[in-house]
Each structure stands twice: as C-alpha cells, then as structure tokens.
Amino acid sequence: MSFLDELSFDFASLRRAYGEGLAPSALVKEVYRRLQARHGDFVWTHLVPLEQALQAARRIERLAEQAHDLPLFGLPYGVKDNIDVAGLPTSAGCTSFTYIAERTAAVVEKLEAAGAILIGKQNMDQFATGLVGIRSPAGYCRNPFNGEYIPGGSSSGSAVAVSTGQVAFSIGSDTGGSGRVPAAFNNIVGFKPTPGLVSSHGFLYCNRSFDVPPVFALTTSDALAVFNVIKGHDPRDIYSAAQAPSPAAAASDFTFGIPDRAHLTFFGDTHAEAQFRHTVDLLRELGGTLVELDFTPFAEAGRLVFGSPFIAERHVTYGAHVESGSPHVHPVVRQAIEASSRYSAADAFAAQYRLEELKQLAWRELDRAAFLLTPTAGTIYRCDEVEADPVRRNGNLGYYTYHANPLRLSAISVPAGLRQDGLPFGACLIGKPFDDLTIAAYADRLHRAVGGKLGATHHALTT
C-alpha cells in the first residue's frame, strides 16, 4: 500500500503532500484508481478521460514552475450534472435530455484558472427536483454510512464524492437545500452563499431568481478557499450581486437563535432530536446564549418554493421536455413541474409581494442573534421509505432549508456528530444576506468542537 492510498483529500493534506514532492499528475492517477475501485456506485454520470485530466495536471505543473498564482493548485473536483462544461455532456439526471455543452459555467472557468482539476460530472436528483438523491432513473448512489439510507439530494453525487474521498471538493446547485441536505447526510460541509455572490451563469436553472452554486468540502476552511475563488460579480448572470460578503465578525460571546418551540420538529426522529440538543449544548459551551426566534416567516417562505407560482421557474427550463412525453422523466419530477399550470400571472405577483413581506419579517428576527441554528434536516429516511411516500418525506427534508434562498439568506451546514444509529447529523447556521463569512467562522468553531472523522473516511478532523 502506497502513501497515496492513505492520503486524505482535505486541502491541508493535499498541500502538504505537494510540498513534499507529489505531482498533480500523480494525484490524478490516484483519483482515477479510486474511481475504478468504486465503479458502478452511480456517483458520476460522466468522467473526463484520464489523459485529458493528466493534460490539465501537467498544465498547472508548468504554470506553478512559472510562479503563477494558483490558490487551488492540484485540487481535484467535480461538478453536478446540471452545470455546463464545454465539450462534456450535461444530462440533469435525464438520459433523453442530454446534450453536449457549448459553454463553460463561470464557476468552472474560475476554478480552472485557480489550478483545480476537473474530474467529471456528478449524479443528481433529476432536474434538481428533490432533496432525497434517489430520483435518478438511470441509477442513484447510496449513503456511504448505510446503503439502505438516502444520500440526500439533489446534489447527491457531489456530496458522496467528497465524503468518500474521490475528490477534494464539489460544486452543486442549491434551490431549496440541495447544497446542505446532502452535506448533512454525508458528514461534510455544505456552504451555500448568499444568492448572487457566486455566478450561476452556465447552470441549468430550477428557480433562476434564487438558485445558488454551493460548495461541498470536508472542512469549512476548504469550502471558504473555494468560495474565495468563485465569488464575484458576473455581468452574464442577471441576478449577480455587486456587493461583497461582509467581513467575518465572530465573537467569543454571542447570541444564537433556534426555531421557537411551536416550529421545532424532528418528525418523530428521536436520534436527530438528541443530536440537535447536543449541538445546542456545545454552542453554549463555546460562549453562546440561546434565544428562540419566531420561525413563522421562514416556514411560510419555504412553502413558497413548491407550493406557489415559483414552481413555474422550473417549467421555463424543463417544461418542454416534460411535456414531450419522454419516458425517462421521473414520475414524481413530472408531477412537480406540471404543477405550475394551476397558477395564474396574478398568483405569481401575489407570491412575489408576499415574499417581500416575509423577507422583512425574517430579517428582523435575525437581527436578534448572530445566526439561526437549525437541524439541516429534521430526520433522514431509508430509500424504501422515500419510494413509498416520495412527496411528503421530501417536503419534510426541506422544512429547515427551503426558506433560505427565497429570503436571500446565507447558510452553511456542518457535521455535528454521528447519531446513536451511526448516521451523520448536520447542523445549519443561517445568517442575514452577506453574513457568509461570519456564519462560516462560527460553523468552523462548532465543527472543531464536534471533531470526529472527515466525511465517510477514516481520517480525523484536525483541530
């Protein structure tokens, strides 16, 4: 067994290995060896050919020799399969929808310029419609902690690839929680920036008005390193924000909120409830003072994602293919997209007006604390449980996540330990718009206090 077999793919370990003489081209060969060992697990939908990835590695080796600034030097990564890369297929989880992309997403352009190495496209809930990770008719990946359980979606492959040490980080998409729920279920970090801070140019949109590219990584510092590369205004993205994130302002003594008792629910899952209570206790030990926040505006905003005319935004991208009668469209996905037909233009404006009211109410609540702490998901389900009741159980998983993007909030999910049944539990820190760096600082402090392993690997989080 070589040292590559035991190499952790967190950024600190990879940078240390490069400092000791490892070449990116050698790491690429190790990545593809790992992928071959896991062949058939449905994490990837398309791989960059090995020789092409080696060419990319050799290119950055030459650039490094010429003293180019490469903040993500030699870090292997993947992207969700609703993100375009010129010359590669984009399927969005649907065989009949697949096309060869002629453009490259803005985030991929920036990552390549920073020295990261693209490995391929990752599996997903079809048309990014779902938080379960098993709505992929061509085959879906499983939870690496227990294969009977869902991996979380819609960015399922992106999270599993990071958790199992196949890549150092991944880029997903997040409309209602797809950058956070799969992170929680795979014991990794899911960093969802404030909408507009990272360009979504080159993405297939679900809800263009509030879609966000999230980062999956093993640690908060790794996620921030990627965020610092991909953030910034992009005129090609009509929702791109000119404003930068506020400077980090984490304090040793702080106030944090949790949902009020009327809204805090775990859907009967006592393991999740116990782990959340433990997380609250940890934050208190770290200097936090607890307050209850009125979760009413957050919950109502969350219901707008699938229970209002906002669903019509998905129809803009995928409606024609759904209506074509393709047998490759998942029946639950078809049902979700076709639901847009029951809303009028007047309904759409009424929903927009109500959302603006809810923003003011939610932001006012967040003024009372440094951040809102919630379970990333109040429970987790077995695959067969989701198959038996796909709509209700998917909705339960989005209870704590649906609201964040419509309300223009920042959010990050971090590992908060393993439950008594051995499954991962994630805690989500939610901040006001552009508070991304502040909540990340608190999240990093919490993750280090929790400790444990990096993803589903045997590597320990270093403190």
Let me know if 240 is a catalytic residue: no
Mean of the per-residue pLDDT values of the chain = 97
Place of tokens 């190495």: 117
Domains 11-230 and 254-433 equal at CATH topology level: yes
This prediction has a pTM of 0.98
As a whole number, mean pLDDT of residues 184-206 equals 98
Q: Quick one: pLDDT at residue 3?
A: 83
Residue 243: how many CB atoms within 10 A of its CB?
A: 11
pLDDT band, very low/low/confident/very high, at 463 (cuts 50, 70, 90): low
| Phi and psi at residue 387, to the nearest 5° | -60, -35
Strand ranges inside 273-422, DSSP E? 288-293, 371-375, 410-418
What percentage of the chain reaches a pLDDT higher than 90? 97
CATH number, domain 254-433, options 2.60.120.10, 1.10.287.70, 3.50.50.60, 3.90.1300.10: 3.90.1300.10
Catalytic residue among 136, 154, 155, 163: 154
3-class state of residue 68 by DSSP: coil
Let me know if 156 is a catalytic residue: no
Provide the token pair at 377: 């998901």
Beta pairing partners, 371: 256
Q: What is the pLDDT of residues 14-28, one digit of tens each?
A: 999 999 999 999 999
Separation between Cα atoms, residue 459 and residue 322, nearest integer Å? 43
As a whole number, mean pLDDT of residues 128-144 equals 96
pLDDT band, very low/low/confident/very high, at 1 (cuts 50, 70, 90): low
Cβ-Cβ contacts under 8 Å for 190 (sequence gap 6 or more): 159, 172, 174, 179, 180, 181, 182, 183, 184, 214, 215, 216, 223, 376, 412, 413, 426
Catalytic residue among 178, 199, 340, 413: 178
Decide if pLDDT at 359 tops 60.
yes
Helix axes 24-37, 11-19, angle to 10 degrees: 130
Q: Quick one: pLDDT at residue 353?
A: 98
Catalytic residue among 8, 80, 110, 192: 80
| Phi and psi at residue 230, to the nearest 5° | -90, -15
Decide if pLDDT at 189 tops 60.
yes
Q: Quick one: pLDDT at residue 2?
A: 76
Q: What is the pLDDT of residues 402-425, one digit of tens each?
A: 999 999 999 999 999 999 999 999
As a whole number, mean pLDDT of residues 126-136 equals 97
Cβ-Cβ contacts under 8 Å for 276 (sequence gap 6 or more): 266, 375, 416, 425, 427
Q: Quick one: pLDDT at residue 241?
A: 96
Decide if pLDDT at 285 tops 80.
yes
As a whole number, mean pLDDT of residues 244-249 equals 93
Q: E strand or H helix at 299, and its extent?
A: helix 296-306
Decide if pLDDT at 462 tops 90.
no
As a whole number, mean pLDDT of residues 91-103 equals 97
CATH homologous superfamily, domain 11-230: Amidase signature (AS) domain (3.90.1300.10)
| Rounded-to-10 torsion of CA 329, 330, 334, 336 | -140
Query: Domain segments of the chain: what residues?
Result: 11-230, 254-433
Let me know if 154 is a catalytic residue: yes
